[in-house]
């Protein structure tokens, strides 16, 4: 059999896709992981942005990011074009979450992302090659992940926890503060880094709610157990802190990435 | 307040995304080759990184210096320079592609690790135990030899996932040439199904070949089916033995079962022995209860998707429309179950799917087994509902709260039927059987009996209590006293084996809403 990824070659990739790749002779390691994290950060932002433009719901976008992180958990970033992998992750996530998105749309939106204000992509050989690459790369991802492509996300837990928290808090205090919007936004930001695959869905959901509540000084009534343990019995304060620390690291990185 | 402002500023990350990626946009032409470097051998090589997070950095750089072109041959030479044989050992094995294709077959890769050769011979049983293979597998002779060369040291350390995968590949898993194609069983838009034989076990298999040249890539039904079936291990669910990737297709290797329930019905002249009806229903519920416990809905139950072997074992197949169910608030696309087995609430537009969506279909199949006729063979939604209401009575606010505010129901303007007595239609069913049937056929989803509760129903009392404590992967026929009754074979006028009717279950790759392939 030929290599399945022969389509993923440079001839198929337009110049805008070959963006900012570091050279193959990477030496350092510490520096490497930092750089990899930054690349992943940017690519995930790309996933989220084209996700919004493609009208994807929150969970399919989250699935695309998890697919992306799980793929690069297994392979070396230097070997694969991350933006191409990202496009295929978006495509695959659409299939997994039953919100099918066409390759054509993904390619056009990605083109627009890299060339805002530029001419639209011609429907020429480059386009068809690129579409083949996206489809081939999807198979590659499926193989790498051994078809384990459906994930449990924190979103549903966050919703449940939020409803429970809301019922415990003074109605006016709740409506004065945007805890809901904040925790939802925080949750989306988690997907910029591989933290989204290193913590359980419940723990992330609890930590997001915790951070949002604390940011606005909303206090839940004190009971026998802390509120987070009432909502999710296997979570500890350390777990929450670990998630929040990693999220704050992502925010720190934001400054360096833009 | 200051803290809040800080958080808000940080949140702008999400909101001011329009300027994103500025830094990432710098284009560089020098890296063109970088993108080109994808090949099978690399996939396997780099997947070794997933072993314990990442391989040690020195190893990684070493590996990087041995890029694709020389990979196969140069590995052993590279090994001579490496001191850490244990780790290297695993990476070397990865050079033979972990899971698939013919070309990168690994036979020519010399195993460089000949250290610690002991006197202990490695037997087939050792290897089978080691890799958790079926007991009836026949390993190729050269494979055994190779293992003896590597030495029994392999058996002293825990086996890694990668190593297992490679070992499986050397045995012949994941390779097309391991399976002999026999007859074609059927063909659909995306997939062709063949009967085949495994050279490893000499067992029959069903080869479901999914074409990939289609512009949409891997069909989503196939992706869902594989991702679900990999996690489902149960005596009443069809086993996915192997997945073979090639350039043009994806082949799923399933266990082979002689016929589906539809054929079984035909072959015995539409009168299944009443004892066997009970056996089949019990096994159907057992498989379904297992799925539902795992929050997996089948969504497409019908006789064509239930496979039966000579022993009488029934297995659920075709999970193409099934998916992992998460929370009941979620809605799914409207058109999923074949019309005849589709519950009335779904027919009337409900998208609130839960496990009870499958239970209506179980009732319909139960009736069909007991009488030999489909229960509600409607060809349109309107006709389907008409059949249902004719038997169960047109629902009222009393029998189905909220129904009068359902616009679709009101618009159809059905005549006011009174509920018929079920037992008049099912002369072969006992009182217990009719009672159970009526519990499946409830208008409202949440009132339908669950698979778990149905298993406890006194209709199944004759099986005793031991069937309830069987392990998931044990067949009910492993218990003494449970056996299939002989069917009286009756020749029907139409040929029972017409290929067009065979195995429709395999061919549902047209996506949602096109499951009426009966």
pLDDT value at position B178? 85
Q: Are residues B251 and B264 in the same domain?
A: no
Q: Are strands B191-198 and B204-211 parallel, antiparallel or unpaired?
A: antiparallel
The domain boundary residue, chosen from B255, B274, B298: B255
Q: Are residues B208 and B320 in the same domain?
A: no
Chain A residue with the nearest C-alpha to that of B38: A5
**Cβ(B345)–Cβ(B443) under 8 Å?**
yes
**Cβ(B365)–Cβ(B357) under 8 Å?**
no
In a domain, B5, yes or no: no
In a domain, B21, yes or no: no
Q: If 0-12 CB within 10 Å is exposed, 13-18 middle and 19+ buried, where does residue B503 land?
A: buried
Record: contact A148-B216, CB cut-off 8 A: no
Chain B residue with the nearest C-alpha to that of A95: B220
The total of structural domains in chain B comes to 3
Instruction: Examine the pLDDT at B314 and tell me if it is beyond 90.
Output: yes
B216: which chain A residues are within 8 Å (Cβ-Cβ)?
A: 103, 135
In a domain, B426, yes or no: yes
In a domain, A135, yes or no: yes
Q: Are residues A182 and A56 in the same domain?
A: no
Q: Are residues A87 and A207 in the same domain?
A: no
- B66-120 tens-digit pLDDT: 333 333 333 333 333 333 333 333 332 333 333 333 333 333 333 333 333 344 4
Q: Which H/E stretch holds residue A36?
A: helix A30-53
Q: Are residues B148 and B199 in the same domain?
A: no
pLDDT value at position B133? 55
d(CA B138, CA B144): 10
Residue B406 has φ and ψ, to the nearest 5°, of: -85, 110
In a domain, A28, yes or no: yes
d(CA A126, CA A134): 12
Nearest-by-Cβ selection for A148 from B7, B17, B230: B230
Secondary-structure breakdown of chain B: helix, strand, coil percentages, each rounded to the nearest 5:
45, 10, 45
d(CA B440, CA B368): 13
Cα B169–Cα B171–Cα B177 angle in degrees, nearest 5: 80
Q: Give Cα B512 distance to the centre of its chain.
A: 17
Q: Report DSSP letters for A110-149, one per residue.
A: HHHHHSTTSPPPPSSHHHHHHHHHHHHHHHHHHHHTTT--
pLDDT value at position A55? 96
In a domain, B94, yes or no: yes
Q: Are residues A160 and A251 in the same domain?
A: yes
**Cβ(B313)–Cβ(B276) under 8 Å?**
no
Options B266, B267, B300, B358, the catalytic residue: B300
Nearest-by-Cβ selection for A149 from B42, B102, B227: B227
Chain A residue with the nearest C-alpha to that of B39: A3
Burial A103-140 (b: 16+ CB within 10 A, else e): bebbbbbbbbbbeeeeeebeeeebbebbbbbbbbbbbb
Q: Are residues A64 and A175 in the same domain?
A: no
In a domain, B215, yes or no: yes
d(CA B414, CA B185): 42
Mean pLDDT for the stretch of residues B174-194: 81
Q: Which residues pair with B197 in a beta bridge?
A: B180, B204
Find the domain containing A91 and state its range.
6-144
Q: Are residues B277 and B362 in the same domain?
A: yes
Record: contact B39-A258, CB cut-off 8 A: no
pLDDT value at position B338? 65
Record: contact B23-A189, CB cut-off 8 A: no
Task: Name which of A205, A199, A210, A212 is nearest A242 in CA terms.
Answer: A199
Chain B residue with the nearest C-alpha to that of A185: B14
Our answer to whether residue B300 is catalytic in this structure is yes
Residue B90 has φ and ψ, to the nearest 5°, of: -65, -40
Work out the widest C-alpha separation in chain A, in whole angstroms.
Answer: 67
**Cβ(A212)–Cβ(A182) under 8 Å?**
yes
pLDDT value at position B290? 96
Q: Are residues B324 and B282 in the same domain?
A: yes
**Cβ(A243)–Cβ(A204) under 8 Å?**
yes
Instruction: Examine the pLDDT at B302 and tell me if it is beyond 60.
Output: yes
Nearest-by-Cβ selection for A258 from B23, B46, B215: B23
- A123-149 tens-digit pLDDT: 888 888 899 899 989 999 999 998 999
SS (H, E, C) B36-74: HCCCHHHHHHHHHHHCCCCCCHHHHHHHHHCCHHHHHHH
Record: contact B25-A20, CB cut-off 8 A: yes
Mean pLDDT for the stretch of residues B439-445: 94
* Element counts in chain B: helices (H) and strands (E): 18, 10
The domain boundary residue, chosen from B223, B255, B287: B255
Distances (CA, A) of B335 to A214, B287, B351, B403: 44, 23, 9, 20
User: Which of A75, A109, A141 has the highest number of chain B CBs within 10 A, making it the mutation to test binding with B?
Assistant: A75
Record: contact B50-A74, CB cut-off 8 A: yes
Give me the long-range contacts of B432-436 (CB less than 8 A, separation at least 24).
B432/B457, B432/B458, B432/B459, B432/B461, B433/B278, B433/B366, B433/B370, B433/B459, B435/B459, B436/B366
Instruction: Examine the pLDDT at A108 and tell me if it is beyond 70.
Output: yes
Instruction: Examine the pLDDT at B480 and tell me if it is beyond 80.
Output: yes
The alpha-carbon gap from A224 to the nearest alpha carbon of chain B, in Å, equals 29
A147: which chain B residues are within 8 Å (Cβ-Cβ)?
A: 223, 226-227, 230, 243
Q: Are residues A19 and A117 in the same domain?
A: yes
């309830």: which residue's tokens? B468
d(CA B44, CA B245): 13
In a domain, A55, yes or no: yes
**Cβ(B409)–Cβ(B331) under 8 Å?**
no
The alpha-carbon gap from B117 to the nearest alpha carbon of chain A, in Å, equals 32
Q: Are residues B456 and B478 in the same domain?
A: yes
pLDDT value at position A145? 93
Identity of the highest mean pLDDT range in A60-74, A95-109, B75-89, B501-515 = A60-74
Higher-pLDDT residue of B443, B106: B443
pLDDT value at position B23? 38
Sign of the four-CA dihedral B90, B96, B97, B98: negative
Q: Are residues A139 and A20 in the same domain?
A: yes
Instruction: Examine the pLDDT at B347 and tell me if it is beyond 70.
Output: yes
Record: contact A16-B4, CB cut-off 8 A: no
Q: Give Cα A189 distance to the centre of its chain.
A: 8
Q: Are residues A179 and A118 in the same domain?
A: no
User: Which of B1, B19, B24, B253 has the highest number of chain A CBs within 10 A, making it the mutation to test binding with A?
Assistant: B24
d(CA B89, CA B104): 18
Mean pLDDT for the stretch of residues B414-434: 93
d(CA B323, CA A96): 9
Q: Give Cα B20 distance to the centre of its chain.
A: 40
B28: which chain A residues are within 8 Å (Cβ-Cβ)?
A: 18-21
> Which ipTM score applies to this complex?
0.76
Could you give the percent of chain A with pLDDT greater than 70? 87
Find the domain containing B194 and state its range.
176-255
pLDDT value at position B393? 95
Under DSSP, the state recorded for A23 is: P
Q: Are residues B245 and B270 in the same domain?
A: no
The alpha-carbon gap from A150 to the nearest alpha carbon of chain B, in Å, equals 7
Residue A109 has φ and ψ, to the nearest 5°, of: -65, -40
d(CA A166, CA B21): 37
Record: contact B218-A139, CB cut-off 8 A: yes
Q: Which H/E stretch holds residue B220?
A: helix B220-229
Q: Are residues A39 and A134 in the same domain?
A: yes
Task: Name which of A99, A92, A114 is nearest B332 in CA terms.
Answer: A99
End-to-end CA distance of chain A: 43
Higher-pLDDT residue of B138, B377: B377
Instruction: Name the pLDDT band for A51 (thresholds 50, 70, 90).
Output: very high
Q: Are residues B377 and B457 in the same domain?
A: yes
Instruction: Name the pLDDT band for B255 (thresholds 50, 70, 90).
Output: very high
Higher-pLDDT residue of A188, B486: A188
**Cβ(B197)–Cβ(B203) under 8 Å?**
yes
Task: Name which of B329, B214, B229, B288 is nearest B440 in CA terms.
Answer: B288
pLDDT value at position B216? 77
**Cβ(B407)–Cβ(B333) under 8 Å?**
no
Q: Are residues A10 and A120 in the same domain?
A: yes
Higher-pLDDT residue of A182, A173: A182
pLDDT value at position A63? 97
The alpha-carbon gap from A114 to the nearest alpha carbon of chain B, in Å, equals 7
Work out the widest C-alpha separation in chain B, in whole angstroms.
Answer: 86
Chain A residue with the nearest C-alpha to that of B45: A75
Instruction: Name the pLDDT band for B283 (thresholds 50, 70, 90).
Output: very high
In a domain, B168, yes or no: no
CATH number at residue A25: 1.10.472.10
The total of structural domains in chain A comes to 2
Record: contact A98-B10, CB cut-off 8 A: no
Q: Are residues A15 and A113 in the same domain?
A: yes
In a domain, B407, yes or no: yes
Higher-pLDDT residue of B336, B293: B293
Instruction: Decide: helix, strand or coil at residue B259.
Output: strand
pLDDT value at position B189? 63
Q: Are residues B196 and B248 in the same domain?
A: yes
Higher-pLDDT residue of A238, B231: A238
pLDDT value at position B300? 82
Instruction: Examine the pLDDT at B514 and tell me if it is beyond 50.
Output: no
Query: Per the annotation, does B447 bind a ligand?
Result: no
Q: Which H/E stretch holds residue B440?
A: helix B431-440
The domain boundary residue, chosen from B233, B255, B277: B255
Neighbours of A28 (CB within 10 A): 10
Counting one residue from A and one from B, how many pairs have CB atoms under 8 Å apart?
206
Mean pLDDT for the stretch of residues A7-12: 39
Q: If 0-12 CB within 10 Å is exposed, 13-18 middle and 19+ buried, where does residue B215 land?
A: exposed
User: Which of B10, B241, B321 has the highest number of chain A CBs within 10 A, making it the mutation to test binding with A?
Assistant: B10
Q: Are residues B154 and B198 in the same domain?
A: no
């Amino acid at each position: 059999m030929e290599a399945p990824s022969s389509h993923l070659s440079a001839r198929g990739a337009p110049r805008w896709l070959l963006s900012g790749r570091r050279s193959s002779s990477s030496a350092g390691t510490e520096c490497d992981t930092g750089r990899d994290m930054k690349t992943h950060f940017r690519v995930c932002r790309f996933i989220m942005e084209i996700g919004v433009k493609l009208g994807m719901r929150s969970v399919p976008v989250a699935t695309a990011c998890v697919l992306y992180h799980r793929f690069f958990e297994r392979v070396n970033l230097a070997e694969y074009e991350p933006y191409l992998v990202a496009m295929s992750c978006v495509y695959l996530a659409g299939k997994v979450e039953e919100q099918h998105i066409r390759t054509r749309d993904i390619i056009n939106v990605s083109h627009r992302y890299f060339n805002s204000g530029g001419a639209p992509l011609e429907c020429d050989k480059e386009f068809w090659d690129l579409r083949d690459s996206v489809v081939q790369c999807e198979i590659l991802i499926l193989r790498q992940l051994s078809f384990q492509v459906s994930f449990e996300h924190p979103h549903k837990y966050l919703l449940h926890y939020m409803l429970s928290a809301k019922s415990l808090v003074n109605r006016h205090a709740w409506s004065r503060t945007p805890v809901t919007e904040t925790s939802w936004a925080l949750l989306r930001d988690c997907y910029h880094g591989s933290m989204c695959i290193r913590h359980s869905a419940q723990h992330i959901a609890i930590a997001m709610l915790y951070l949002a509540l604390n940011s606005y000084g909303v206090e839940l009534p004190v009971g026998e157990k802390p509120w987070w343990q009432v909502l999710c019995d296997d979570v500890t304060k350390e777990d929450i802190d670990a998630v929040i620390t990693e999220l704050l690291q992502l925010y720190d990185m934001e400054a360096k990435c833009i | 307040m200051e803290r809040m402002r800080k958080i808000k500023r940080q949140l702008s990350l999400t909101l001011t995304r329009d300027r994103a990626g500025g830094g990432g946009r710098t284009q560089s032409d020098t890296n063109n080759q970088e993108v080109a470097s994808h090949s099978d051998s690399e996939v396997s090589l780099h997947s070794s990184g997933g072993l314990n997070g990442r391989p040690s950095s020195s190893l990684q750089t070493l590996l990087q210096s041995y890029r694709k072109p020389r990979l196969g041959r140069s590995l052993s030479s590279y090994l001579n320079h490496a001191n850490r044989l244990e780790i290297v050992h695993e990476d070397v094995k990865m050079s033979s592609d972990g899971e698939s294709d013919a070309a990168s077959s690994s036979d020519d890769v010399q195993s460089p690790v000949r250290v610690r050769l002991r006197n202990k011979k490695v037997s087939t049983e050792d290897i089978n135990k080691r890799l958790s293979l079926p007991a009836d597998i026949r390993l190729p002779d050269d494979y055994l030899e190779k293992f003896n060369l590597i030495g029994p040291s392999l058996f002293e350390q825990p086996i890694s996932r990668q190593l297992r995968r490679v070992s499986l590949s050397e045995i012949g898993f994941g390779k097309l040439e391991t399976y002999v194609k026999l007859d074609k069983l059927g063909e659909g838009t995306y997939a062709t199904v063949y009967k085949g034989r495994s050279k490893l076990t000499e067992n029959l298999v069903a080869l479901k070949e999914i074409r990939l040249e289609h512009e949409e890539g891997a069909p989503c039904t196939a992706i869902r089916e594989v991702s679900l079936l990999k996690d489902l291990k149960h005596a009443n669910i069809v086993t996915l033995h192997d997945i073979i990737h090639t350039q043009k297709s994806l082949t799923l290797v399933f266990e082979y079962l002689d016929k589906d329930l539809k054929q079984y019905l035909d072959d015995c002249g539409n009168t299944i022995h009443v004892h066997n009806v009970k056996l089949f229903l019990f096994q159907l519920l057992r498989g379904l209860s297992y799925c539902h416990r795992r929050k997996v809905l089948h969504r497409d139950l019908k006789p064509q998707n239930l496979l039966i072997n000579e022993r009488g074992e029934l297995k659920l197949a075709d999970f193409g429309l099934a998916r992992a169910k998460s929370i009941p608030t979620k809605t799914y696309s409207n058109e999923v179950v074949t019309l005849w087995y589709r519950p009335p609430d779904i027919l009337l537009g409900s998208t609130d799917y839960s496990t009870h969506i499958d239970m209506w279909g179980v009732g319909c199949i139960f009736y069909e087994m007991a009488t030999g006729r489909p229960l509600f063979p409607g060809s349109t939604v309107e006709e389907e509902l008409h059949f249902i209401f004719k038997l169960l009575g047109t629902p009222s606010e009393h029998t189905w709260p909220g129904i009068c505010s359902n616009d679709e129901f009101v618009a159809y303007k059905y005549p006011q039927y009174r509920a018929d007595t079920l037992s008049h239609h099912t002369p072969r069913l006992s009182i217990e059987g009719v009672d159970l049937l009526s519990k499946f056929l409830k208008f409202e989803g949440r009132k339908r009996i669950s698979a778990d509760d149905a298993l406890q129903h006194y209709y199944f009392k004759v099986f005793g209590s031991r069937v309830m404590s069987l392990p998931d992967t044990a067949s009910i026929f492993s218990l003494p006293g449970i056996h299939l009754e002989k069917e009286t074979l009756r020749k029907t006028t139409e040929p029972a084996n017409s290929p067009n009717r065979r195995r429709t279950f395999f061919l549902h790759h047209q996506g949602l809403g096109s499951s009426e392939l009966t």
